[in-house]
Every structure is written in C-alpha cells, then in structure tokens.
Amino acid sequence: MKRFSLVLALMLMLMSMPVTALAQEAEQGLTRGEVADYLLLAADDYTPGLTKEDLVKGYGNGQHLEDQRVTRIEALIMLSRAFPKLSSPKGNDLRIGKVNGMFTDVPSWAKEEIARLSSAGILLGYPDGTIGRSDRITQGQLEALTKRIYALQGTNAGDDFYEYVNKKWLNESVIEAGEPMNGAFVELVRQNEKNIKNIVDDLLQTKHSPGSKEQKITDFYTTALDLEHRNEQGIAPIQGYLDAIEKAGTLDELFAANLKLEKEANFGSLASFGVMADAKNSSVNALYFSGIATGMDKNSYLSGDERKKQIYLKYLTKLFVLAGDKEAQAKKQAEAVYAMEKELAAASLDVHEQGDVNKYYNPYTMEQFAALYPSFAMTKLMKETGLGQTDKVIVTDVGLAKKSAEYLSSSHVDVLKSYMKASLLMKASTMLTDELAQAAKAFTAEMYGVEGEKSQQDIALQLTTSTLSDLLGEIYAEAYFSKEAKQDVESMVKQFIEVYKKRIMALDWMSDQTKAKAVKKLEKMTVKIGYPDQWNDTLKDVKIAPPEQGGSLLSNLVAINNAYIEKQKASLGKSVDKGQWIMSVYEVNAYYNPLNNEIVFPAGILQAPFYDLKAKPEANLGAIGMVIAHEISHAFDNLGSSYDENGNANNWWTTEDYEKFEKKLQSVIEFYDGIEVIPGVYNQGKLTVSENVADLGGMAASLQVASMLSKPDYKSYFEGYAAIWRSTMTREIAHYLTTVDTHSANKVRVNRTVSNFKEFYEAYGIESTDALYVAPEERVSIW
C-alpha cells in the first residue's frame, strides 16, 4: 500500500502555510523534492521498492537540490522513472490518447524518456507541437499525468475503478464500421437488432394481408433497401419544393413555399411547433414553440472551433451543389446559413437550461405570440396547418424565438431561402440518392471521427427499427420478454420505492412538511415495465407500399411521419394519453417523465448485463437496480423536483428546504466538475448535475437494498455497476459529448460516484492514499 506517512507530512506542511503562500507556490511550480515525494507515494503499488534515489539521480557533485523548482521536462523524466513498466496502449487507450506525439522542444538528454511517455499516450503538449520545455509543473498537472498512467495500467481498484473492472474489455474493444462508439449499451442494442432482423427475415418468407402490421414492416424494409430506385429518381421527389423555394422573391412567397412543405410532408423549417402535456396542467395537451432550428448544437457555433465550422460549411456547400448550384454560389449560401445559425445559437438557451421548467415555460396568448412576429403570418401558418384551435402558445426558448423573428422578415429572404433548401436536403438525405446519403456520412465521419460504413442491409434494418417501433415492438415483446422477468422487475421497483420513502423520511436537512410531499410523489409514481398495456395504433390506416406498387422510402416515411404529427395536432387541447410510451419496447434505455410522474423500463434494457434472472442479486442490484433507483431519483433532481405528484410544475418545497437543496446541488456540481474524461477533455458539473444527482440517489438506494441481503457481496454490486458503463469511442465523440450530454462521461459516472460510499471503501480496502479516496466530510449526497 502507499506510504501514509508521506501524505500526512505533506498535508501538515500545506496546512501550516498561509493561503497567499499556497497561491505563490502553485504559480512557481513544484520543487524537485515535492515531485519526488509525490511520485514515491503515487507509484508505490506499481513500482515496489522505489526510492528517491531512483527518481532524483543528482548532479555531478552528488547534490539533489530538492528545493529547486523543476521544469516540466524534468518532472516528466521523474514520472517516467517512477513508472518504468508502462503498458502498451491498446484498444480504447489508442483511441483516446495522443500516442507517439513528436514534440519539437525536447532536449536530447530527455528524448528517450519523453518518447516512452509519449508512446504510452499520456502526453498532449501544446497545439504548436511543443511540450513546454521551460514551463514549471503544478501539483494538478502532475496528478493528471499520474491518473492517466493509472488508467493505462488499470490494475488498482482504488486508483481507477472503472479501468480496473473493464480493462480487458477496453483493451480488446473495437468500434464497428460506421459507428462512433461501442459499449455495454451498444452491444445490447446490436443484440436487439439481431433479434429484430430475425423477426424481419421470418416475415419476408411469407406474403401478408394488405394493411397488416407484418405487410407494413416487410414493405417498408424493402423500400429502405431499394437504393437503385432512389438513385434513378435523384432529387426529383423534392425538386418541386426546391423550385418553389428558389423562385420565392418575397417573404410572402417564401411563406407559401414553407406552408406547402408543411402541409404535404411536415417538412417546413421556418417554425417549430410541438404538442405535449401542459407543464402547469399536465392532464391537458398544450402547444409549444421554439423557433428556427440550427444544424449543430450551440457550443459548436460558439466555441471558436474552426475545424467544426469548416466541416459544417463543407457539408452545406455539398448539399447546395447536389441541388444544382454552382460551387461559388453554394459556398456563398453555406456561409450565409452558418452566420444566421450562429446568431440563432447565441440567442438560445444553454443545454443545461433546456429542461428547466422555469426557463422553458413561457405562455403567450395568441395575440402576444402573433406580436412576436410582426413580419411573418404566424397565426395564418398555425390555422393552415391545423394548430389554430388554441388560445395559448408556450414558448420554450424566448431568446431563440425573438432572434428567429428578426430573421423572419423581408430583409432576410435570401438567407431564409438558403436555409430552407439546406434543411430540406438534410431531412431528405437518408430518403433519396446515395450521393445525398454519402454527403451526410462524410460529415458525420469527419466531425466525429467515424471510420468505415454500414452495409445497406444494416442501414435499412436500423431505419425500419427506428421508424416502425410501434409495429415491431409488439412482435419483439412477445418473442423476447417473459412474464416472469416483468413480474420480477415490478417487484424490484416496488421495493426501491419503499426504500426511497424510508430514505426521505430519514433525511436530516428536510422538514416534515416537505418530506410528506415527497413521499406523496413517490406513492403516486406510475411504473411501466417491459411494454405498454395498449399498443399504439397510429399507423393502422397508413398505407405503406413496396417499390412495385409505386412506393418509395420517401413516400413511406412521409406517410408515417404525417400520421404521427396529425395525431399529435388532433390531441391539442384534449386530455393527455397517460398510457403512451416515449421509447420503443426494444430500446436499451429507461426514463423518468416528470409530466406523468412515471418511470419506464422497456424490455430492451431488461437483459444481461443489466438484468439477468440467473445472476447474483448483488450484481443485478448494481446494474438494473441502480438504473431503477436512478430513474426514481430523477423525480427529485434539480429538474424533476419542480413537478408535483400529478406531474404539474408546482413548488411543493418550503423556502428553507429548497435553499438547502440548492446548496447540495451546488456541491454536486463542484464534485463532478473538471474531472478529466480523456486526456485534455473535462467533465462539466453544471451541464451534468441532474444525472449526477440521479446517480448518487440511485446508488444510495440500491446499496441500501443490497444491505438487506444476507452477507451482501458488495464487490459483485460495484463490479456489476462498473461493467454496464464500459464504453469506447472516438476522441471527437468523447469531446463532443462533454459539451452536449447531460450525463457525465461513463468513467466519471463510475469513479466519481462510487467514491462517495463507504461500502466501496470497505469492499476494496480503499485508503486515504488512493487516487479515488475522498475524505468523508467532502463526499456528496442528497437522497
């Protein structure tokens, strides 16, 4: 084990220094002695018998000069000596590390050691190709480098539990052609797709009666495979829409082109409406509005990432060229669209704000809403498209809506035309020619580091799976989900809800008044397991035709899309159908819906490694048990806590309790913030707070259930948990997700979460000298 006395000595030294002195030390960097002392401790489990003399060779006169500040190069040499047996990066480590990077400022005497560290993928350097030869090294930098080595080795549960559990899988991991990532979730998705392929293959063997779900599935799949026919047609199926957009010389003419698109295909792009439960009265459907959508996320426009900008401009230019524009004109249009979308993005909500009911619930009367758009006939558009039967519009992003209004004017007709063309071509890219599809694939590949391509059969199957989930789900559930599993999971959920009640009642920071409201919310929570009680019949009257009957992928997709949207429009102002599911039956996921106060677990995730009737109870508790408790916790995260037991946005907290809750939320934000995900990429605490709260609550509750077992095997619990989060992805995707995903990176979800629970420390003998150790008073919890 690591030497505790050295840590204690360092802590006592730091505690005795004034704050100003600590700041100065950080600016000046570490001394040779400080680096050596830290590395002796850090490498103790990896290099037994390591001495200070192994790290500090001294000068010719025998002096070690331990009080002298060291450069980054000197510290790296010492780091290399502390870990002389580095593993060679494989699989995931090769993808995320900058392996064999050559630095231009490394002195000859240090080249061998630096090359060794570089080959291990733990050094990044500066964008100009230097490593910072004369720079000082800080404590934080040295710790970050050491943690990268811990991850590379993956041998110590106390230093990197995620790697410790998953190292073999990570080293052997591959990413399938055309995919950005792989992992436990993706592997189960692929297994479910194989099961669905078996269903489709069986259906293809026989002829089915017209209008049956079997006929619709097989004929849709056939049109998805029919690339030859799509290539022959080219963009002719949408040429009329493109021509109408191009010919528009006024805002009114452009409005007419958009209206035609919206009425016939629901492909209009100048206004974004949706119908769902009114957040203040969740039993009735209301109309929501956002504004003009952008082709990328907000951060991609505003981060200053020139690479992303150029990739997107290249894609837009390609789309315009495929639509018949000359290269120069295409580039000009692409630049104009990008500039418009950047302004729209800048005016929009940040990702972490979008689920906040206090930010997205902005009701306008029809008169007020129309006044937002003085130059655009918004009320006419609503009436013409079947959305006029309301006296209220809930604007979800006021900043975006107002900026959209600025563009929906006569002075911006040209850029709106370009935007509408680009939007239509993007929407149709998977439905028409191979050239359009290839342009979309090239954009994805370049933006996210995706290599290779999926087969046409895989593309057709995935499109069928995502489009006809209501039809395929019924067949899938009957074939692959047992009643025994459904009953077992239902029993688990009931147990978790009871445990949650006990945990809430035992809280020392919440008043009895608020506790009573929280328990009431738990008692009224709806639980949905496996599949819906009643199957969605939206497509019962939709005609899906094969190629020989004049059907095409575009025509079939439009028919299906129209059916769902028209049903949604018809529900405006009517009672919410609480029996509907947001996810497909075979989706590998789960969710909490605050507007229904419900938790939903599709059959797709109720399989190994998440759930296995034959597995140890502790392993199931660490996997599906954690997932169940996680979703329950969403009812009480920073977003779900704004809704009451009936799914209405309603403050059920006392002022004092909510102030305490906000302080705890801030602690969670800080605890998960700035944690390195992959070299040079960091987790964002504010973006991920809702999911981190759910992870913490989920682990607390599922561990309490595990504690009720006879002699609980906590190692099985924690390893079951870590295993479901194993994943590998490209550097580009890993970086992108830290800017848009409200979930912490999988590695952070494991390492940072388990470090809050005493059962983890006891199971693996974690001590204060281990990297994952967090002092009890610094651990975070809410529920």
At 61 the pLDDT is: 57
- For the cut 50, the answer to whether the pLDDT of residue 770 exceeds it is yes
At 613 the pLDDT is: 82
SS3 1: coil
- For the cut 60, the answer to whether the pLDDT of residue 60 exceeds it is no
Confidence category of residue 11, pLDDT binned at 50, 70, 90:
very low
Write down the CATH superfamily of domain 181-190+468-647+659-778. Collagenase (Catalytic Domain) (3.40.390.10)
Architecture of domain 236-431: Orthogonal Bundle (1.10)
What pLDDT digit, counting tens, does each position of 250-290 carry? 999 999 999 999 999 999 999 999 999 999 999 999 999 99
State percent of the chain over pLDDT 70.
96
Nearest Cα residue to 152 out of 162, 163, 161, 141: 163
List residues bridging with 593 in a β-sheet.
Answer: 598
Tokens 């056939």 belong to which residue? 222
- What does the chain come to in residues? 783
Tell me the residue type at 443: F
What gap in Å lies between CA 761 and CA 768, rounded to an integer? 10
Provide the total of helices (H) and of strands (E) in the chain, helices listed first. Answer: 36, 11
The domain ranges of the chain are 4-153, 181-190+468-647+659-778, 236-431
Q: What are the tokens at 88?
A: 């060679």
At 614 the pLDDT is: 84
For 514, residues 6+ apart whose C-beta sits below 8 A from its C-beta are 652, 653, 654, 657
At 484 the pLDDT is: 87
Question: φ, ψ for residue 160 (rounded to 5)?
Answer: -160, 90
Largest CA distance in the chain: 94
Strands of the 591-593 sheet, one edge to the other: 526-530, 598-602, 591-593
What gap in Å lies between CA 444 and CA 426, rounded to an integer? 12
DSSP 520-531: HHHHT-EEEEES
- Over its C-alpha atoms, the chain yields an Rg (Å, rounded) of 29
Nearest Cα residue to 335 out of 279, 411, 418: 418
SS3 682: strand
- For the cut 60, the answer to whether the pLDDT of residue 26 exceeds it is no
Mean pLDDT over residues 426-454, rounded? 95
- For the cut 70, the answer to whether the pLDDT of residue 62 exceeds it is no
At 182 the pLDDT is: 98
At 65 the pLDDT is: 82
With beta carbons less than 8 A apart as the criterion, state whether 420 and 270 touch.
yes
At 92 the pLDDT is: 97
What pLDDT digit, counting tens, does each position of 579-616 carry? 999 999 999 999 999 999 999 999 999 999 999 888 89
What pLDDT digit, counting tens, does each position of 322-364 carry? 999 999 999 999 999 999 999 999 999 999 999 999 999 999 9
Confidence category of residue 25, pLDDT binned at 50, 70, 90:
very low
SS3 596: coil
Confidence category of residue 58, pLDDT binned at 50, 70, 90:
low
- For the cut 50, the answer to whether the pLDDT of residue 4 exceeds it is no
Question: φ, ψ for residue 257 (rounded to 5)?
Answer: -65, -40
For 568, residues 6+ apart whose C-beta sits below 8 A from its C-beta are 274, 275
- For the cut 70, the answer to whether the pLDDT of residue 428 exceeds it is yes
With beta carbons less than 8 A apart as the criterion, state whether 705 and 495 touch.
yes
Mean pLDDT over residues 503-513, rounded? 97
Confidence category of residue 66, pLDDT binned at 50, 70, 90:
confident
For 333, residues 6+ apart whose C-beta sits below 8 A from its C-beta are 316, 317, 320, 325, 418, 421, 422
**DSSP H or E run through 151:** helix 139-153
What pLDDT digit, counting tens, does each position of 87-108 carry? 999 999 999 988 777 899 999 9
What pLDDT digit, counting tens, does each position of 613-639 carry? 888 999 999 999 999 999 999 999 999
Tokens 């060679």 belong to which residue? 88
Mean pLDDT over residues 531-536, rounded? 94
What pLDDT digit, counting tens, does each position of 669-718 carry? 999 999 999 999 999 999 999 999 999 999 999 999 999 999 999 999 99
DSSP 238-278: HHHHHHHHHH--SHHHHHHHHHHHHHHHS---S--EEEEEE
Least confident of 56-65, 241-250, 563-572: 56-65
State percent of the chain over pLDDT 90.
91
Mean pLDDT computed over every residue of the chain: 93
For 204, residues 6+ apart whose C-beta sits below 8 A from its C-beta are 218, 221
Strongest mean pLDDT among 1-15, 54-68, 611-625, 686-700: 686-700
Q: In this structure, are strands 598-602 and 526-530 parallel, antiparallel, or unpaired?
A: parallel
The number of beta carbons lying within 10 Å of the beta carbon of residue 537 is: 11
DSSP state of 622: I
SS3 455: coil
